[in-house]
A = this chain, B = another copy of it.
Amino acid sequence: MELFYSNHTEGGVIVLDAEESAHCVKVLRHRNGDEISVIDGCGTLFRAVLEDADPRGARARITGSESNFGAHPYRLAMAVCPTKNIDRYEWFAEKATEIGVDVIAPVIGDHSERKVLKTERLERLVKAAAKQSLKGAIPTILQPQSVRDFILSVPDDALKIICYCFDGNKRTIAELLSPAGPSAGDSALPEIFILIGPEGDFSTEEAELALSRGWVPVTLGSSRLRTETAAIVAVTQVYSAF
């Protein structure tokens, strides 16, 4: 199934932007009367019939919709320090979207070698990954912020998990999440925040701030994982717990 994206509706009509319109009309050669499937990026899948196959601004009349399309039964925000090699971070964002993530927060730590990150490419990547993996919701990419600001921004009552390399008795994500299972509804979805540090790990001050704010240190197992691999292992462990 080919999915298009648009968050622009006028009454009962969906309007595709120039890029999506060109893909729909020029590449896939859809014509008036064809039924297309469009996600709004917020979780809804629309069925719609093309009534103006304009390659610069195609319009389709909505004939049906499905909410929570391809949704997962949890809310997961991954705060991950950008890697030196940005390809590895983009790979993490794409794979996390396929598996199931809601928010990706690039965070800059005291030991981060990369202090800046442009989010435009990430936004394009996760949109394509959401469409490819048949999900109605596209993960939100936050603007880069410091690890400290992110720690302080998270609500007290959320489950807050920090993966870091310091020694100490740590639990696993599975232990923290079990017994887990699909919840009653959106309002009841468990909110999970996971923080993954840079190649140089968190500074002692960052780790102490997190612990003082109720973040729970976990181990991802005995293997020594790169930042982006640790992030995907954490996403998979959350995904697998539900």
Contact = CB atoms under 8 A, between A and B. Distances in A.
A100 B223 contact: yes
A91 B91 CA distance: 9
Interface size class of A (residues with CB under 8 A): 20 to 34
Given A174-B240, A236-B236, A240-B172, A95 B221 contact: no
A229 B95 contact: yes
A18 interface: no
Contact of A237 (B225, B229, B236): B236
A214 interface: no
Highest count of chain B CB atoms <10 Å: which of A70, A222, A237? A222
Contact of A229 (B99, B224, B233, B240): B99
A223 B137 CA distance: 13
A223 B72 contact: yes
A99 B224 contact: no
Given A70-B224, A239-B223, A240-B237, A95 B232 contact: yes
A67 interface: no
B226 A239 contact: no
9 contacts: A70-B222, A72-B223, A98-B226, A99-B233, A133-B226, A221-B239, A221-B240, A232-B232, A236-B236
A232 B99 CA distance: 10
A132 B240 CA distance: 27
Nearest to A173: B240
Contacts of A134: 224
Given A174-B240, A240-B240, A98 B232 contact: no
Contacts of A70: 222-224
A4 to B, nearest CB: 17
Contacts of A99: 223, 225, 229, 233
